Structure 1
Amino acid sequence: MTDDQGELEAQFAQWRHYVQRRRELRQADVDELEDHLRGSVDDLVAAGLHADEAFLVAVKRMGSLDELSREFAREHSERLWKQLVLTGGADGPTPSGRSRRDLLVMVGCAVGAAASVKAPELFGLTLEDDAAFYGPNVGLFALPWLAAFLAWRRRAAPAVIGALVALFALGAVAANAYPLAEDSQSLVLTSIHLPIALWFVVGLAYVSDDLRSSRRRMDFVRFTGEWFIYYVLIALGGGVLIGFVFGTFEAIGISPETVIAQWVLPCGAAAAVVVAGWLVEAKQSVVENIAPVLTRLFTPLFTAVLLAFLVTFVVTSAGIDVEREALILFDLLLVVVLALLLYSASARDPLAPAGVFDKLQLALVVSALLIDVLVLWEITGRITEYGTTPNKAAALGENVILLVNLAWSAWLMTGLIRRRVPFAGLERWQTAYLPVYAAWAWVVVLAFPPLFGFL
């Protein structure tokens, strides 16, 4: 075998590995697609192209894998619905068996999450009377079970499993070891930042089959968006169900309020964390991704809102309120901007030239960058004048982290629009920056309480 043939076979192997991750495609379908790709490559080589060039052109002609998946799902709708409801059948014993095992493991993890919420009651703690306990520990009830489900699906190595256990144990220590009063700022910061830190531990479980892959990190970003959407849909459906339960039981003179408040709501909310993750995994891009579609809708809307805010700020010369609620609101706004950028990147064709939507996103990022600078200016001024507090210190660090990401993203997007920077550079920057957020969340949880005297 020549060097060119060896390199070409390596490219085919890489393509086949990527395609086989799509659960809606059976092995026979993968073989058929590969035969089509090989035939196209052979024709292009015969026409005079180099093997590497022929492979790239052939893959480009086939369209992106997501487009192929959507077309395949439309043409095989019967098989699609069988996979979504896990009935098996024509797909053969292996996919059906895997789906059933996924379902059983998911149910076990969901039950474990629900039981974890009620476990503190064995020690005399209740949701109504012990908010200081449940607030910091909220992420520890369900997220370890979601991570366990994902680690099982990815067949995580023992070293990764050990790291997951250690990180969740560290979170449990951080949530319960410090003497935090119910009205302390550190308690609120821990309640906000620990679930964020633990979500990145879930991300470690998600990418455990390829820890160094930038693409797998981007897959986790997509997973996060779709998990959130599924969780909201489950919550809305659960709200409708609870409404019917109230109405029907009260019609016969029985009030289900206690059962719903003490059992249905907390257990259902915890179990839904795992169920939503299972739904994203079961769908596995068979149906068109929802989050990237929403970015197309909300990017122009958020751009208009941010520009309107900046114009109003300049015209009125009003200062920015840097109290805790306002700081959280601004940080959430900047995070939403980054989420819009990330989700659109996850669905973008990396070979496509820059277009109008890319310019719109650049305007969005630049607007968010200017707002971040204004917020940082106000926070720095307040700290200089009145001293620092845990809230202001956390907000300062978070806004600096967001500033770095937004600034470099704006630079890369400018280069992309001017065709001097490939899209892959922007994608690598975003995925490489994810651990920074996780590290800062752990710093706030572990270091801030003792640093500020458990204030």
Structure 2
Amino acid sequence: MGGGTMTIAGDSELEGQIAEWRAYVHRRREMHSTDAEELEDHLRNRITELTESGLRADEAFLIAVKRMGTLDELSREFAREHSERLWKQLVLAKEPSAPAAARSRRELPVMLLCAAVAALAVKVPSLFGVDIADDDGSFYVRNMSLFVLPPLAAYFVWQRRVGPRVIGALAALFVLGAIAANAYPLDDGSQSLAITAIHLPLALWLVVGVAYTGGDWRSDRRRMDFVRFSGEWLIYLNLLGAGGGMLMAFTAGTFNAIGLDAEEFIGSWLAPCGFAAAVIVSAWLVEAKQSVIENMAPVLTRVFTPLFAATLLAFLVAVAWTNNGIDVERDALILFDLLLVVVLGLLLYSISARDLTAPPGFFDRMQLALVVSALVIDALVLLAITGRITEWGFTPNKTAALGENIILLANLAWSAWLLLGFVRGRMPFAHLERWQTRYMVVYAAWAWTVVLTFPPLFDFA
């Protein structure tokens, strides 16, 4: 969005009203996400015009929603649900245009094309003698994200009608990732290979995020939409993975029953190509079924937040009771980092599903306990890593873990402060949402730093 967003972004009460309006719009099955975004842009531009003419933000909001068009059934339903509000005459939708309907029908074949490209890209190296079944692991470990994520970005480029400048920037970043993954002399089993394999997919996933937002990466709202999409995409990918696992098991069993060995076909074709295609199909499912899947966000966060909070608190009690330090060997570091990432994922997913205007409740306090517990654990891990580095020196793994835990510590600390302020009624929940979406830039910068600088910095060890 343009200057209108910047003009009104500082008014927390107004942002809360727009957030509630937006949440209602996205719950409607008949309202496509692109239509809702267009309506919100229109609404914000109207509000900006009215505020610049001298009206207060709340007055501008009331007038803007009344001027958006004539009443239809959707707005009347909204008015019945929110009859206590002055803005119950809110007007939402118009019938989708013929070009929009035609474009919606083209999404399936475009998705299938991108999925086919991703699946075939996995097999291209076999033309040069590098087959996934025979590879020692190093080539595909480094490059798998480069096979599947560019087609996913291309799907969003088409869907969002991204301009040529953004397309050029996306292509340049993918090329940079390919150079970093393949130009460095990374030995099999080296720590540099491991950290590249971990951080390159993260860096390229955030590149996909730029395509998802249509190039509007500066928008807090669009970045939060990408966070929501990422969580829902992961759900669908796991569901497809479970179905794919059953398919492979049945394939192997049925062919074995007639004396044929299908393991080579499964290992060389079905598993890798199926995974690559599933990355694209999962994204399409999220976009096509938003009104169905969005109800999973609050359910999942409310189920797992108390469980993870109890687990982390029990771990801290055990540490205090036994007075045992934390093991900072490679596997333990990965485990603790994944744990902290899951905590942040639960926090982000709950933010994306929350009504920003709702008052603090018990679940918010549970989240605060979860974040504080993770913050204490992160501090303990940092102390252990620092001690090990002081004793044995820097290695790629420990240096990457040190940086990641410092980044996570800063995020968790400020998130805990913002949550505490919200629970005590001293600041709006929107501050926490803006903090999390803007902090994504830090993750991207760190991931690219590790991929591009760590291997030569540590002599590719």
1:213 corresponds, among 205, 219, 241, to 219
Correspondences of 1:284-323 after superposition (within 5 Å): 284-323=290-329
Distance (whole Å) between structure 1 residues aligned to residue 289 and residue 31 of structure 2: 12
Secondary structure class of the residue paired with 2:258? coil
1:156 corresponds, among 155, 158, 162, to 162
2:287 corresponds, among 281, 293, 302, to 281
State the percentage of identical aligned residues.
64
1:124 match? 129
Distance (whole Å) between structure 2 residues aligned to residue 316 and residue 20 of structure 1: 49
Distance (whole Å) between structure 1 residues aligned to residue 261 and residue 275 of structure 2: 21
1:179 match? 185
For the 8 Å contact 2:210–2:216, the answer to whether it is kept is no
Distance (whole Å) between structure 2 residues aligned to residue 284 and residue 50 of structure 1: 30
2:114 match? 109
For the 8 Å contact 2:23–2:355, the answer to whether it is kept is no
Counterpart of 2:459, as a letter, is G
Distance (whole Å) between structure 1 residues aligned to residue 98 and residue 259 of structure 2: 50
Correspondences of 1:291-440 after superposition (within 5 Å): 291-440=297-446
For the 8 Å contact 1:175–1:190, the answer to whether it is kept is yes
Q: How far does the alpha carbon of each residue in 1:44-69 deviate from its partner, in whole angstroms, 9 at most, with x for none?
A: xxxxx9734756999xxxxx99x97x
1:100 match? 105
Secondary structure class of the residue paired with 1:421? coil
Counterpart of 1:348, as a letter, is R
Displacement, 1:24? 2.4
1:192 corresponds, among 198, 223, 229, to 198
1:26/1:273 CA distance change after superposition, 3 Å: closer
Counterpart of 1:440, as a letter, is W
1:50/1:334 CA distance change after superposition, 3 Å: closer
Displacement, 1:284? 2.6
Counterpart of 2:104, as a letter, is S
For the 8 Å contact 1:214–1:432, the answer to whether it is kept is yes
Q: How far does the alpha carbon of each residue in 1:164-189 deviate from its partner, in whole angstroms, 9 at most, with x for none?
A: 00000000000000011112100010
Counterpart of 2:353, as a letter, is A
Distance (whole Å) between structure 2 residues aligned to residue 299 and residue 368 of structure 1: 12
1:23/1:99 CA distance change after superposition, 3 Å: farther
TM-score (norm 2): 0.81
Counterpart of 1:188, as a letter, is A
Displacement, 1:256? 1.6
Distance (whole Å) between structure 2 residues aligned to residue 412 and residue 316 of structure 1: 32
Distance (whole Å) between structure 2 residues aligned to residue 297 and residue 380 of structure 1: 35
1:226 corresponds, among 227, 232, 239, to 232
For the 8 Å contact 2:286–2:293, the answer to whether it is kept is no
For the 8 Å contact 1:155–1:209, the answer to whether it is kept is no
Q: Which residues of structure 1 form unaligned runs of 5+? A: 1-6, 38-48, 59-63, 72-89
Counterpart of 1:141, as a letter, is F
1:167 match? 173
For the 8 Å contact 1:113–1:267, the answer to whether it is kept is yes
Correspondences of 1:1-150 after superposition (within 5 Å): 19=25, 24-25=30-31, 51-52=59-60, 54=62, 94=99, 96-127=101-132, 128-150=134-156
How big is the alpha-carbon RMSD for the aligned residues of Structure 1 and Structure 2? Answer: 3.3
Displacement, 1:277? 0.6
Distance (whole Å) between structure 1 residues aligned to residue 426 and residue 399 of structure 2: 38
Distance (whole Å) between structure 2 residues aligned to residue 350 and residue 240 of structure 1: 41
Counterpart of 1:174, as a letter, is A
For the 8 Å contact 1:22–1:284, the answer to whether it is kept is no
Secondary structure class of the residue paired with 1:285? helix
Counterpart of 2:174, as a letter, is F
Displacement, 1:207? 0.9
1:294/1:19 CA distance change after superposition, 3 Å: closer
Secondary structure class of the residue paired with 1:210? coil
Counterpart of 2:109, as a letter, is L
Distance (whole Å) between structure 2 residues aligned to residue 399 and residue 218 of structure 1: 23
Counterpart of 2:128, as a letter, is F
For the 8 Å contact 1:110–1:271, the answer to whether it is kept is yes
Question: Are 2:455 and 1:453 aligned?
Answer: no
For the 8 Å contact 1:369–1:403, the answer to whether it is kept is yes
Distance (whole Å) between structure 1 residues aligned to residue 107 and residue 456 of structure 2: 42
Secondary structure class of the residue paired with 2:291? coil
Distance (whole Å) between structure 2 residues aligned to residue 429 and residue 254 of structure 1: 56
Secondary structure class of the residue paired with 1:211? coil
Distance (whole Å) between structure 2 residues aligned to residue 436 and residue 202 of structure 1: 16
State how many pairs are aligned.
405
1:242 match? 248
Displacement, 1:238? 1.1
For the 8 Å contact 1:376–1:399, the answer to whether it is kept is yes
For the 8 Å contact 2:145–2:204, the answer to whether it is kept is yes
Distance (whole Å) between structure 1 residues aligned to residue 301 and residue 32 of structure 2: 31
Q: Which residues of structure 2 form unaligned runs of 5+? A: 1-7, 9-13, 44-56, 67-73, 82-94
For the 8 Å contact 2:233–2:282, the answer to whether it is kept is yes
Distance (whole Å) between structure 2 residues aligned to residue 53 and residue 259 of structure 1: 60
